[in-house]
Chains A and B, each alone.
Chain A
């Protein structure tokens, strides 16, 4: 059974595995957060996979227009390695908002297939090399900007009639 202290124990091997890649590590609860440059994303993911992080739980893109970037965050963990099931590796990178391109990680983690597609559709992040970057949830004739970008406004109502 994993506990909070184990997270610290796992952080060290992760740091070791990522040697040579410029990365920032931080620990937040059960999450080991790793920030890398977009060009190092594939390499970092491959090393995490070798360490035992065998699947992706979530792929999230976060639009930050104030800083002009979009963050792409992968939450990976392990099914096969009992020592890692309690840990979530948070692999994150930032790309410029006007040209958001990251390499796809579907070859390393096939579990990212649908979620990368969804984030492409919702935030316009282009996952280069993704086998089927096409509409998933939105209607085929949807013409607007990516709806989860902050400049896509949806109407809200006040409390007064």
Chain B
């Protein structure tokens, strides 16, 4: 089990080493002050595009849903629950088997959701998928609960004061991340 010694040698308290260290530190600071570009973006004016497969807020296709309840079963945060149809639909009992309760459908509480995506991966019909919406803000915690019919209406759209510039992050050997504008 060999060890390996690493960068950053020790020069003891040698004043010459110290002086050289001070010069190198200040020089590096100056280099970054002058020559190295920034790596942050001006967020609400510039927005970073998310990659495909990003686990954002959910899209629910109610037409594909078979009410199997797997999403609610697997949800680790108890965010997805199965809801009875609202508006008194429960008492109607118009189906072929009157004693079976009406089908339940999933609704989601984004105050609990942890965006693990287990529900999407286990959904046998593809009724759930991820959108790229991740930065919705709410004024009241109750608004974060989406019953099935609201859930089916899609994730909220995020509005900006000024239309933001969309940027795609690309790895860059010199800058770390550089940002390419997308149309």
Contacts and interface: CB of A to CB of B under 8 A. Distances in A.
B117 interface: no
16 contacts: A157-B78, A157-B81, A159-B69, A159-B73, A159-B75, A159-B80, A159-B81, A159-B82, A160-B72, A160-B82, A160-B83, A160-B104, A161-B81, A161-B83, A161-B84, A161-B107
B1 interface: yes
A76 B81 CA distance: 43
A82 interface: yes
Nearest to B104: A160
Given A157-B81, A161-B83, 6 more contacts: A157-B78, A159-B69, A159-B72, A159-B75, A159-B82, A161-B84
Nearest to A1: B1
Interface in A8-54: none
Contacts of A161: 81-84, 107
A161 B69 CA distance: 12
Interface in A130-161: 157, 159-161
Interface string B73-91: 1010010111110000000
A159 B104 CA distance: 10
Nearest to B75: A159
A156 to B, nearest CB: 8
A128 to B, nearest CB: 38
Interface of A: 82, 157, 159-161
A62 to B, nearest CB: 23
Nearest to B70: A159
A120 B39 CA distance: 49
A160 B1 contact: no
Contacts of A160: 72, 81-83, 104
Nearest to B109: A161
A82 B1 contact: yes
B113 to A, nearest CB: 14
Interface in B22-47: none
Interface-central residue, A82, A157, A159, by most chain B CB under 10 Å? A159
Nearest to B148: A161
Interface string B1-13: 1000000000000
Nearest to A85: B1
Contacts of B82: 159-161
B115 to A, nearest CB: 19
Contacts of A157: 78, 81
Contacts of B84: 161
Top 9 nearest A-B pairs by Cβ distance? A159-B72, A161-B81, A161-B83, A157-B78, A160-B82, A159-B73, A159-B82, A159-B69, A160-B81
A159 B105 CA distance: 11
Contacts of B81: 157, 159-161
